[in-house]
Amino acid sequence: MPVSAARAAAFEILLRVEGEQSYASELLHSSRFATLSGSDHGLATELVMGVLRWRSLLDLRLAGASSQKLERLDVEVLIALRLGVYQLQFLSRIPARAAIFESVELVKAARKRSAAPFVNAVLRKTSGTSPEVILDKIRDAGDPKKLAEGSAHPEWLAVRWAERYGLEATRQICLHDQGIPETAIYVREGGADELARAGVRLSPGLLVSSARRVISGDVTKTKAYLEGRVSIQDEASQLVALLVGGGNRILDCCAAPGSKTSLVAQRNPEAVVVASDLHPHRARLLRDLVRRPNVHVVVADARGLPFPGGFDRVLADVPCSGTGTLAHNPEIKWRITPADLDDLQSRQTAILRSALDQLAPGGRLVYSTCSLEREENEAVVEAVLRDAPEFKIADCRIELERLQRPGELAWNDIDSLLAGPHLRTLPGTHPCDGFFAAMIERYS
């Protein structure tokens, strides 16, 4: 009997995430798996994201039942085991015999037939607690180390978050990361009506009024999404784009895939918007997504921008660790190391210095990341402005209050969105990913 389409897809995706440093969400929505039925795609998504979210906890369960050290297993065997134990642990609707049988068949299909009896034996010996008990342990954890173990987060991340944000905020971050996040979208003109006709139900944004949240239906299968009138974009990301404000010449210097660029361009239809990205293939993706006549796409390294400057507004949404997006990208937490933060900071500092050179007198730059780490946020801004007296920090409160007055900002508690003069959203505390934004102005 062949392996089910959903489990075969999940197995292939997890192999690529492990071996190619790919991102699961991109693979799940790639053309390779577009032919899966709705139910198969749903199960594949559940399996992939569940295994990645709970990987360390799954490995603890497997290690207790395995006669071999997990690090010595072939990757195909380990992934089949993780898929099996995830179903046994978290998916009560799937019979245990089906979860075990399909994991055994996966290793056979992967030409690891000799490991089939081992996989069968380990999964039959595996026992665990219910999801409700696991969540209770997270809620009751009294220190960051226990919280990290119970919530399947690297200990070093939980410890640093607790030191920075406090244990309770860290608990909320971890709980948010381990849940299935709601899908937030940015809808261009007429897109909402198209989605309604396609059977997609929406609710208003909780942070940004113009955002929408998907209640039911698959946005990615709609014509509006495929033709670029709707894009998946977290509400915090949309808020960062709103902070850019208005101008005649606007630069987005790390623009791909282009969701922020598109929002900025729509709000500034008369402006010239230059959107650059380092990689040609990402620039092509940017062109395909944005599709606005006032946006000009350029391939350029943000650390050495080739423009003459004089932009009224600049957005520098820099490459970062992504630790604020673990609910959507759980594989990040198994890849990132403390040393990576220093490497990223060096690149981010270079980009910010280059981006500031493009800013006209009296202009505003928004520096942003989807990271929770100080090294990538305040530390970068402080390091760059230390030797740049012609620039000053602007208080995000003023801009948030300006957005709140006409109702564009749906969130009432502005104080909770601020870390000093900067924007700071925290998963679990706010209904969105974790973002940081600093507004920097050039003296006139």
When pLDDT is cut at 50, 70 and 90, the band that residue 191 belongs to is confident
Cβ neighbours of residue 309 closer than 8 Å, sequence gap 6 or more? 357, 358, 359, 360
Active site residues: 370
Residue with tokens 């009294």: 142
Residue 128, pLDDT > 80, answer no
Query: b vs e for 266-296, b when ≥16 Cβ sit within 10 Å of the residue's Cβ?
Result: bebeebbbbbbbbeeebbebbeebbebeebe
Q: What are phi and psi of 77, to 5 degrees?
A: -70, -45
- Burial group, residue 117, by CB count within 10 angstroms (0-12, 13-18, 19+): exposed
Predicted pLDDT at 70: 96
Instruction: Pick the closest to residue 427 from 154, 236, 185, 215 (CA basis).
Output: 236
When pLDDT is cut at 50, 70 and 90, the band that residue 1 belongs to is low
Distance between CA atoms of residues 17 and 10, nearest Å? 10
Q: What are phi and psi of 95, to 5 degrees?
A: -60, 140
Q: Is the dihedral of CA 89, 90, 93, 99 positive or negative?
A: negative
**pLDDT tens per residue, range 383-402:** 999 999 999 999 999 999 99
Rounded mean pLDDT of the chain?
Answer: 95
**pLDDT tens per residue, range 9-31:** 999 999 999 999 899 999 998 98
Q: What are phi and psi of 186, to 5 degrees?
A: -110, 125
Contact 361, 312 (CB under 8 A): no
Least confident of 42-51, 124-133, 204-213, 315-324: 124-133
Residue 184, pLDDT > 90, answer yes
Q: How many CB atoms lie within 10 A of CB 68?
A: 12
When pLDDT is cut at 50, 70 and 90, the band that residue 2 belongs to is confident
Omega into 117 within 30° of 0, i.e. cis? no
Predicted pLDDT at 289: 84
Determine the length of the chain.
444
Predicted pLDDT at 94: 93
pTM, 2 dp: 0.95
Q: Is the dihedral of CA 377, 384, 259, 421 positive or negative?
A: positive
Distance between CA atoms of residues 327 and 323, nearest Å? 9
| Residue ranges of domains in the chain, CATH in brackets | 5-125 (1.10.940.10), 131-178 (no CATH), 184-232 (3.30.70.1170), 235-442 (3.40.50.150)
**pLDDT tens per residue, range 254-297:** 999 999 999 999 999 999 999 999 999 999 989 888 888 999 99
Predicted pLDDT at 89: 93
**pLDDT tens per residue, range 54-97:** 999 999 999 999 999 999 999 999 999 999 999 999 998 999 99
Instruction: Pick the closest to residue 259 from 238, 236, 283 (CA basis).
Output: 238
Predicted pLDDT at 384: 98
Helices (H), 291-439: 338-357, 378-385, 396-404
**pLDDT tens per residue, range 99-116:** 999 999 999 999 999 999
Q: Rounded mean pLDDT of 304-330? A: 97
Coil vs helix vs strand at 321? coil
**pLDDT tens per residue, range 214-237:** 999 999 889 998 888 899 999 999
Strands 418-419 and 422-424: antiparallel
Angle at 275 between CA 295 and CA 409, to 5 degrees: 85
Predicted pLDDT at 221: 87
Contact 182, 216 (CB under 8 A): no
Residue 203, pLDDT > 80, answer yes
| Residue 358 host element (H or E) | none
Predicted pLDDT at 11: 98
| Residue 98 host element (H or E) | helix 96-109
Percent of the chain exceeding pLDDT 70 equals 100
Q: What are phi and psi of 275, to 5 degrees?
A: -120, 120
Predicted pLDDT at 188: 84
Q: Rounded mean pLDDT of 188-195? A: 86
Predicted pLDDT at 196: 92
Distance between CA atoms of residues 250 and 266, nearest Å? 12
Give the CB-side neighbour count of residue 184, counting CA atoms within 13 A: 22
